[in-house]
Amino acid sequence: MVGITSYGAYIPRYRIRRKDIYSAIGWLNPASLLPGEKAVASYDEDSITMAVAACMDCLTGIGRNEIDGLYFASTTMPYKERLNSEIIATALNLRPDIKAADFSGSTKAGTTALISALDAVKAGSAKNVLVCASDCRLGKPGGYIEEMYGDAAAVILVSSEDSIADLLDSHSVSYDFVDHWRADGDRFNRGWEDRWIRDEGYARFIGEAISGLIKKSGLSPNEVARVAYSCLYERAYTIIGKKTGFEAAQLLDPLFDQIGYVGTSYPLVLLVAMLEGAGADEKLIVASYGNGSDAILLQTTERVGELKGKRKGVKENLESKRRLKSYEKYIAFKNIIPVDTGGRGEEVAGTAISTLWRERKSILGLTGSKCKRCSTPQYPPQLICVNPDCQAVGEMEDYAFSDKQGKVFSFTEDNLAFSVSPPAIYGIVDFDGGGRFLFDVTDCDSGELKVDMPVEMSFRRKYLDEGRGFSGYFWKATPIMTTKEG
């Protein structure tokens, strides 16, 4: 039966406490204070990089060549024209003969992509489709939306066999309900009145989608083990559940106080969290929201426990966090206020796109080479073996570095180099198993890095060339977090 065979998640390390936002700019809108914190993508992250991180988690131990499709859902795609899903697929070293598609336009797009993948696999046109949803939406400074919107990504692998949860059914409703909108060229959402959105939007559409699904499936609400859905209003979450026939105990913690309202990825993040906690033979319902709602019914299999401890998932990502104390730093990271980068920061050389195309495997995919004669891994990929005792010519095969861990060989914290988050930390990484190169280090505070510290690789936006509308992506090293909160 068609179902889910793997999952992954990524929640950016930075969390900002809503109280810290409120302390800085709450004067503008004194009634806006909300409890808890929200996840914040760093200055070098966007919906694509977060999706790559979640996919890396999902594909742990799974051959990249098995994947036949990659569906990417987001309302914050970095490119309007350039297939965002294929940037992710290239970073993951997926085959070129796959179906790559972008789903957008609504925060419901994540579940729509998931249903489309389930349909494609059910119809036999693909065996394994990766569905990733990722968003990093912005609220205008000082508005309550700023405290609510968080950043995260989640990934579901949909396959034709060996599932950990089978797809039983889905039900969708669509309405041109204009609660929030963002026109071409807008950075921030506009919105209508919240009471109207809460009662006529969330309560009604989620209720319709879930009730319709239950009716269609001939179930009663008490046969469902867990339910979760996107909800912008914390108190309305339980009320919607009750109205639809569920007890509070059936409702999953919506994580609103920990990550915020994370857009298209929200229902998928909740689904991953549900699967992490689920036992065998449980019925689960997840529903999205955004110009209507999609509700999906799943039933876990006896395999559901097999991924436990093998994925970072939502659980581990929630624990790996560091506090972003400064609201001013937050709005600088989000490029909301112009900051003085100095002359050095203004110098952005153009990107040679034909070079990027030619070198896409090594740049976007961090693929190096391995000498077939002496087995030395090397990055960037070499034509002549770098081992002085080998020097074989033309005997290289591809070698993936993106999933390899390494150790810091040397590093510096550079106050002169331009960085959105100075000092610029970079260093030489010696990869476990061989290979060495120089990388930026990210998600790392001044004073934290040490020689020999273990690191892993993370796909990031290396530079943003605003003048030419181009995001340059590459891999950075990041310390493997051992402490829970930095």
Partner 1 sequence: MGIKDKVAIIGMGCTNFGELWDKGSEDLMVEAFGEALNDAGIEKNDIEAAWLGTCFDEVNVGKSALPLSMTLHLPYIPVTRVENFCATGSEALRGACYAVASGACDIALAMGVEKLKDTGYGGLPDFGGVMGSRNRMIFPNLTAPGGFAMLATRYFAKYGITPEEGKRAMAMVSVKSHANGVKNPKAHLRREVTVDQVLAAPMIAWPLGLFDCCGVSDGAAAAIVCSPEIAKQFREDAVYIKSLQIGTSSGEELCYNNWDGAHFETVTRAAKRAYKEAGVENPRKEIGAMELHDCFSITELATYEDLGISPRGKAKEDIEAGFFNLDGEIPCQPDGGLKCFGHPIGASGLRMMYEIYKQLQGKCGERQIADPRLGITHNLGGFPPMNIASLFITGLGKG
Indicate the residue among 99 and 436 with the shorter CB distance to partner 1. 436
| Least Cβ distance, residue 30 to partner 1 (angstroms) | 41
Task: State the minimum distance, in angstroms, from the CB of residue 415 to partner 1.
Answer: 6
Residue among 42 and 106 whose Cβ is closer to partner 1? 42
- The least CB distance from residue 407 to partner 1, in Å, is 11
Please, which residue, 34 or 417, has the CB nearer to partner 1?
Answer: 417
Min dist. Cβ of residue 327 to partner 1 (A)? 26
- Minimum CB distance to partner 1 smaller for 178 or for 384: 384
In the bound complex, what is the minimum distance in angstroms from residue 227's beta carbon to partner 1? Answer: 46
Of 105 and 423, nearer to partner 1 (C-beta) is: 423
If you count them, how many residues does the chain have? 486
Which residues would be at the binding site for partner 1 (CB under 8 A)? Answer: 342-344, 347-349, 351-352, 355-356, 359, 362-363, 376, 378-380, 382, 386-388, 409-419, 423-424, 426-428, 430, 434-440, 451-452, 462-463, 472, 474
Q: How far is the CB of 336 from partner 1 (least distance, A)?
A: 22
Residue 122: how many CA atoms within 13 Å on its side-chain side?
A: 13
Nearer to partner 1, 71 or 399 (CB): 399
Please answer whether residues 117 and 100 qualify as being in contact, where contact means their C-beta atoms are separated by less than 8 angstroms.
no
Of 193 and 347, nearer to partner 1 (C-beta) is 347
Q: Which is nearer to partner 1, 155 or 477 (CB)?
A: 477
Measured CA distances, 330 to 7, 25, 80, 266, 337 (Å): 29, 12, 25, 21, 10
Q: By C-beta, is 28 or 384 nearer to partner 1?
A: 384
Least distance (Å) between residue 59 CB and partner 1:
23
| Dihedral sign of CA atoms 386, 452, 363, 463 in order | negative
Q: How far is the CB of 414 from partner 1 (least distance, A)?
A: 4
Residue 294 pairs in a beta bridge with 172
**Residue 348 burial class via C-beta count within 10 angstroms: exposed 0-12, middle 13-18, buried 19 and up:** middle
Between CA 272 and CA 259 the distance in angstroms is 14
CA angle, 18 then 21 then 22, to 5°: 85
Look at phi and psi of residue 201 and say left if phi exceeds 0, alpha if psi is from -120 to 50, else beta: alpha
Give the whole-angstrom CA distance, residue 181 versus residue 57.
32
Structure tokens at 186: 């807008």
Phi-psi region of 244 (alpha: psi -120 to 50; beta: other; left: phi over 0): alpha
- Name the minimum Å distance from CB 250 to partner 1: 50
Q: How far is the CB of 45 from partner 1 (least distance, A)?
A: 17
Distance between CA atoms of residues 28 and 22, nearest Å: 9
Nearest to 70 by CA among 8, 113, 107, 30: 113
- CA count, 13 A, side-chain hemisphere, 241: 25
Nearer to partner 1, 208 or 443 (CB): 443
**How many angstroms from the chain centroid is the CA of residue 11?**
7
Task: Give the residue with the Cβ less far from partner 1, 246 or 431.
Answer: 431
Tell the residue number behind the tokens 């394994």, with chain if given. 128
Q: Of all helices (H) and strands (E), which one includes residue 400?
A: strand 396-400
Contact 443, 455 (CB under 8 A): no
CA-nearest of 322, 321, 328, 263 to 20 is 328
